[in-house]
Structure 1
Amino acid sequence: MSTGMRTDFETEAVRLVSAAAAARGWRVDVEPSTRFCCRVVTGSGVGFVVGTDLGLNDSASRRVAQDKAFAAHFLGVDGVPVVETRVLPSAAEVEVLSGWEWPVVVKPCRGHGGLGVGLARGVEEIEEAYTAASALDSVVVVQRYRSAAEVRVMVLDGEVLASFGKERAEGRIGANLSQGAAWTDVSERLHPEVAMLAVRATGCLGLRVSGVDILLNRWDGTEGAEVLEVNATPGLRALAMHRPEKLDRLIARALDRLC
């Protein structure tokens, strides 16, 4: 069974967890053909790490966070400011966008890494964007487009680990590292209210660890702050690059659950 697209850092994450577990004297079994998954066996139980999923979030909460329509609904119910998100049943049913201004962002509902994301500048571009998104997911969503600063806030057990300003690569809609975006550590400049917004969004979805993408007028302000997405994996590659001590803390917390 395929586990989806794999990256070099995901196998590196498994290696880091394996080393930390072995240092505790625990048994570690790494699946040898891909080295994408490992099992940690302790005197108290068994735990798995798959890529950058360290096993801290329960499966139901992780699935809700991955589903952009579900997540937007439950965040909105709790009064969290969130970028308006609607399901687009088909390319022909553009009436769901009544009252919206163009352009709009079209995405696979459960997509990741910026794959299948398109910008439709008018009704005539919806079909092409819908086709690209629906090739990756049977459910397609649309979101209001905002030309705004974007920040990824990483949360662990109700505390902010780090935050990164995200600069899109030229010609890209998303600001993912896998798409060539540049992430800058803005942890010391993030406004406390924006940090608390990320913590609140994480709690609303029942997650212990997350990477919350927030749009706002400027990285160090609060105006226009809206949650764009809540990711059940926070962005370990950025932590490894800029805040390795925070990554060590996250791995230790993941292993502590097995004690």
Structure 2
Amino acid sequence: MYGPGMAEIYELLHESRGKDYRAEAATVAGLARSRNPQAASLLDVACGTGAHLRHFAGHFDKVEGLELSDAMLSMARTAVPAAVLHSGDMRDLALGRSYDVITCMFGSIAYLKDTAELTSALRSFAEHLTADGVVAVDPWWFLETSLEHHVSGDTVTVGRRTMTRVSYTEREGHTSHMSVHYVVAEPGSGVRHFAERHALTLFTRAQYEEAFARAGLRVTYVGGIQSGRGLFLAERAAAAARD
């Protein structure tokens, strides 16, 4: 789970490295609306600092977010003050309401440990959908497309703050173990360093599709977007059958 050090620089760092939250939100909103033109409400699961949610708010009348990390949720409350934000885990989603669109962005779904958890979470998503609702899941890398060893590094300067991010990812079986180190320097604060480690499950594309089906969702995979990871779009099987 992301701590306060990363929450503070999360969105700024990723945007400086080229991530376009506005464009990604517009793409996902457009794809969801192609299936549900009247969609007015959205829940962003694992909303982080609200980076996508802030832009989803320009496409939907009502947006809400769910986040497990208190530090990230605090940042999201500042970023999207009009949104209803929930502290919670996608593994036991129970909000007592339904949404036209449910999103899970930036590979966050891969924090689920196995196909049983994946199916359970997707079933919870389905239970929170309106009759014609759409689920959009931005997956982590598939097992079949993942790299066994991967090193990445960037240094960016924004205003008076310079940030360096260096990561090493190693694949062990069906898990991607990512160690990330950050160095942040700015006048008046000096230099600080912190590190985080993340374990992300490398599901195969087939495992994702099977989990959607077990959750009662009819799914389509859209390739070539979301930095190459693609996007899963799904509807309740019964609603899809009516069409």
The TM-score by the shorter chain falls in which range?
under 0.3
Please identify which structure carries the higher strand content. 2
Q: Which has the bigger relative contact order, CA under 8 A and spacing at least 6?
A: 1
Larger Rg: 1
